[in-house]
Structure 1
Amino acid sequence: MRSAIVDTNAFIQGYGNLGKTVSFKAPELNQKTISGTTGVGDRSYATGQFESLDSECSFASMPEAIFNALSKLDEAEIIQKKAVRTGTKVENHTWISTGAISVSFGDSKAGEMLDVKVSQKGLKKYIYEVNNQTKVRIDHDNLIVEVDGKDLMSDVRRILRG
């Protein structure tokens, strides 16, 4: 069964609703691997870590709260909410991204909607939820990577912290 995006909305922690997003690209979850050679050939091993987490969203307006978030440096938190319909079922998808933001403006043309892009590169923290259940939680400062309830870095954290 196909799923369709019903609507999207963005919020900035502490400043409220930014409004509907024209588009939103969630961070890609690309696992870091290490390659090694076994007796029968080369193999890649997952490390429990992920490549840089980057996101981007576009707005047709310039919410003032963007500048408040820009001033928070690495602590800017953008929350994206998406309603996704599959058949008669509608699910809530939420992305919480913490990290520095960048703002860029598209070309300005009379009579056209404003084109404002807000991006975050190399997120400090990242949470992805479906119907308020956490599916992915990554916290670089605390060496936490949880996927579907499994803590992928617990052994590494225990060893490094003694």
Structure 2
Amino acid sequence: MKTIRLMLIPLTLLLVACTEGPESARGFSLPEGNAEAGKAVFISYQCLACHTLQGVADNDIAQQLPKKVPLGGDVSKIKTYGELVTSVINPSHKIAPGFKREGYTDEEGQSLMRNYNDLMTVNELVDLVTFLQPQYNLKPFNRTNYPQYFP
């Protein structure tokens, strides 16, 4: 009986920690976007100066980073709408491990991505994310098939 009580304490603490507080995303929703308009936003804000995206090219844009940051393609974890919105409005929130080095971050480890929050409208942001999200292709996890050993 004492063991059960000891197991209930961490479980209770875990449930209390998961409650939604004032900082939660509950209730946050943006309107539907337009993917074609999002592609136009992607090009007009010259995102290709720092990013690559299969099927989208503009040779007239000068490269701004030592190596461009790829967008889209095969991923092992789905890119959510919220993650993509956050990547645009707060690019330093989560930086992929391969880009946490010189040329991609400043001295404090913050992303070198330009801040578009005062330039981009909410409609442009919604359209951009609507365009980008289907560019990611969720690849199923390939398990390793180990041979069976029999004694």
Q: Which bracket does the TM-score occupy, shorter chain normalised?
A: under 0.3
Q: Which has the higher helix share?
A: 2
Normalised TM-score (structure 1): 0.20
Normalised TM-score (structure 2): 0.21
Higher relative contact order (CA 8 A, sep 6+): 2
Q: Which has the higher strand share?
A: 1
